[in-house]
Structure 1
């Protein structure tokens, strides 16, 4: 098993600072965030993120991405792209960039739910069957282009989209070539929507289980009430060791499902300063992997998978 960091979660660092810090801490790789983003007065996860490569002009940035990643001795766990499956031009660009960098795989977003306001968008009002059918049609095209470029396009399990669960993602991709399309199983997102017991969900994905993201979340009781006077709960991101998800149990499920590849951390909690947070997360992941019987590359304290 290898560990990397998705740079959506390192907004205060420039790309050079990110590779320098993560390499020094002992991470195996990095997953670069690639998207055009809004400016912000202070660096944030989704706007003003210094460790994000703009999609505009991406082709000109590829030599710099390759150089600083290689010079730091880091590998790519993939690319964190945000191109949506219905934007064929942008999808083809990120697939081509993934191939040129040798990053192997890249996230290609599915369509949001018809009532979703994710990213500040207006709800489309379209039904789930309509959106699912459209996403499948687009992903058939995505699969063909991924094959053309010799890479893999990844569907992320994400709340507010047509693939919040492993079951929905398997249904979406079923029949497409798992050499060129796959699924990112995401512990934290599933705590918000789409939860299924990890081991059977991972087994259900079968050959489409391509990548794993780890973050954690918790539900908190707000001081609000619904119109009937009922309690209102809200989700928030939590440190890896402080959320609802048990990482050791999750890693045991990964081991039992035969997954022993990249695990990428995207910790959106802010309770601990960034450098301390990333270093602490790596230590925590190594302990969790050892307890789950997973061998960690380059880690003298790892144990063989049993």
Structure 2
């Protein structure tokens, strides 16, 4: 395995600071966040994030992005794009940028659920079958453009979207070329929605398993009750070793299917200062990985 950090989780560092700090801590790679974001008086994960490359003018930023990455001696585990699959112009720009950098793969977001207000957007109210069919149609176009650019477009398993589970993602991509489309399996997101036992879920993805994001989450009982008198639970991000998902069990499942590619940390917990958090995460991930025995009978997955 090789370990990288998604810069959505390093909001206090400039790109140069993120690259140099992560390299000095011993990380193998970096996954740059690429999106236009809202301003914020304080750096935050999703607004005012200093380690984010704007989508506006991205092409002009590529030489500097490449220079910073190269100077730190880091590899790309991919790009963390936010363009949605129905925004063809922005998706094509991301795919072209991925090719120009030699980053190999980039996230291309699927459509949100009809009742989702993720990202502050109003719920569309559209039914799931309609949204799923539309996402499939758009991803057929994405797959063709990814092939044109010689890169891979990644579907992330994410709560509030049409692909919260491995089963949904496999159904979405079935029949498309796994050389050019694949899935980001994400432990923390699945704690919130879409949980399936990791080993069979990874087996189900088969050749579409392309990338791993690892963060963690937990459900916390609230002080209030709903109108019926039942307990109310809310999810929150947790440190890697303190959430409800077992990273060790996750790594064992990955070994079970022969996965030995990138594992990208995106820790949105704030219990520790950022530098202490990233350094501790690398130590923990390496320690967990060292406890896992490879499955010599597994066929390596395509990554």
Give the TM-score normalised by structure 1. Answer: 0.96
Q: Where does structure 1 lack aligned partners over 5 or more consecutive residues?
A: 296-304
Q: Determine helix, strand or coil for the equivalent of 1:69.
A: helix
**Residue matched to 1:301:** none
* Mapped partners of 2:246, 2:229: distance in 1: 32
Paired residues for 1:53-64 under 5 Å: 53-64=53-64
Deviation at 1:234, TM superposition (A): 0.3
CA-atom RMSD in angstroms: 1.0
* Mapped partners of 1:294, 1:45: distance in 2: 35
Deviations 1:80-102 (A, max 9, x none): 00000000000000000000000
**Residue matched to 2:170:** 170
Paired residues for 1:205-284 under 5 Å: 205-284=205-284
* Mapped partners of 2:294, 2:17: distance in 1: 30
Whether contact under 8 Å (1:260, 1:294) holds in the other structure is: no
Is 1:159 equivalent to 2:159 in the alignment? Answer: yes
Deviations 1:210-255 (A, max 9, x none): 0000000000000121110110000000000100011111000000
Paired residues, number: 296
Q: Determine helix, strand or coil for the equivalent of 1:236.
A: strand
**Residue matched to 1:187:** 187
* Mapped partners of 1:261, 1:224: distance in 2: 43
Deviation at 1:292, TM superposition (A): 1.1
* Mapped partners of 1:254, 1:225: distance in 2: 39
Deviations 1:131-166 (A, max 9, x none): 000000000000000000000000000000000000
Give the TM-score normalised by structure 2. Answer: 0.97
* Mapped partners of 2:231, 2:83: distance in 1: 37
Q: Structure 1 residues 294, 213: closer, same or farther in 2, change over 3 A? A: farther
* Mapped partners of 1:224, 1:34: distance in 2: 38
Whether contact under 8 Å (2:256, 2:294) holds in the other structure is: no
Deviation at 1:294, TM superposition (A): 5.6
Paired residues for 1:195-206 under 5 Å: 195-206=195-206
Paired residues for 1:1-306 under 5 Å: 1-293=1-293
* Mapped partners of 2:221, 2:235: distance in 1: 9
Whether contact under 8 Å (2:258, 2:294) holds in the other structure is: no
Whether contact under 8 Å (2:81, 2:108) holds in the other structure is: yes
Which stretches of structure 1, 4 residues or longer, exceed 4 Å deviation after superposition?
none
Q: Determine helix, strand or coil for the equivalent of 2:213.
A: strand
Deviations 1:189-229 (A, max 9, x none): 00000000000000000000000000000000001211101
